[in-house]
Amino acid sequence: MFGTRLAAAMEQHGPLCVGIDPHEHLLASWGLPASAAGVREFALRTVGQLKGSVAAVKPQSAFFEQYGSAGVAALEETLAAAKDAGLLTVLDIKRGDIGSTMGAYARAYLDPASALAADSITVSPYLGFGALEPAFELAAVHGKGVFVLALTSNPEGAEVQHAVRDGESVAAAIVSRVRQRNAQALNSAEVLGSFGLVVGATIGTAAADLGFDPSDCGGPILAPGVGAQGAGLAELRAVFGDRALESGQVLATASRAVLGAGPDGLADAAAALNRDLTAAD
């Protein structure tokens, strides 16, 4: 299952997941054009440089999709290259819909028969947590992972995620529902569920203020915001606590802090950040 594979990858390579976000300014700094061909070259170089050094990579689908079919083809190549390199993939798509449409999204990104299939995906629960059922079901069949948006760092997110119903915040309810899904799916040999959360590394005390602990979800926590956005080990510890960090539950995500080092420096940048995230006080 995905949780078991991710735990092993983090044990071997550390807690860092590198986002593959080919912004135009990064393409330019790498000497690449803002085109599908440039995005393809950027992503494949990144995968090649990070092989054997990080637990996972996280392609952001939007940066590929904006170039149309050629960009989507570049994303397909990137996912295939990561698989060949032994890198787990978190495809950042944040999809969320209802009924047959959610089923189609699930098949697109979680069915191994699809060229766009990844090891795991991000999803949005804001059409109702139950609407994500097709993704959970297909992920379980194929040993894939699902990361559910729970508590993000963007200011706009608070109006939904912090909202309270029947004495419980929306974010806390999502954590509870993910915990239930993992409890149903985990077997005795697994220590980390395959269904997790997206929780920003820069949210400070927001989770505690809302009265819940993200690590209670029983699965991995994707924590964007490390590096250029300001989060390091101290911030991760403040948000998630020592237990979650020491148990290998937090997959810390950085993009610009690594990619900004350029194609010849990103492997060293990733290694340095990985060391920082595991350093003792």
pLDDT digit string (tens) for the chain, length 281 residues:
999 999 999 999 999 999 999 999 999 999 999 999 999 999 999 999 999 999 999 999 999 999 999 999 999 999 999 999 999 999 999 999 999 999 999 999 999 999 999 999 999 999 999 999 999 999 999 999 999 999 999 989 999 999 999 999 999 999 999 999 999 877 655 679 999 999 999 999 999 999 999 999 999 999 998 877 778 898 999 899 888 888 889 999 999 999 999 999 999 999 999 999 987 54
Question: In a 10 Å sphere around its CB, with 0-12 CB exposed, 13-18 middle and 19+ buried, how is residue 241 labelled?
Answer: middle
CA distances from 33 to 9, 149, 256, 271 (A): 33, 32, 18, 27
Contacts of 139 (CB under 8 A, 6+ apart): 2, 106, 110, 120, 145, 146, 194, 195
CA distance 213 to 52: 32
CB contact at 8 A, 40 and 77: yes
Please report the pLDDT score of residue 189 as a whole number: 58
Question: 12 is written with which tokens?
Answer: 């071997």
Please report the pLDDT score of residue 281 as a whole number: 42
Please report the pLDDT score of residue 134 as a whole number: 97
CB contact at 8 A, 43 and 78: yes
CA distance 178 to 43: 31
Please report the pLDDT score of residue 188 as a whole number: 54
Give residue 60's identity as a one-letter amino acid code.
Answer: Q
Q: Which of 51, 58, 83, 94 is catalytic?
A: 94
Question: In a 10 Å sphere around its CB, with 0-12 CB exposed, 13-18 middle and 19+ buried, how is residue 190 labelled?
Answer: middle
Please report the pLDDT score of residue 18 as a whole number: 97
Please report the pLDDT score of residue 243 as a whole number: 86
Residue 94 appears among annotated catalytic residues? yes
Residue 204: what are its φ and ψ, rounded to 5°? 65, -125
Please report the pLDDT score of residue 191 as a whole number: 79
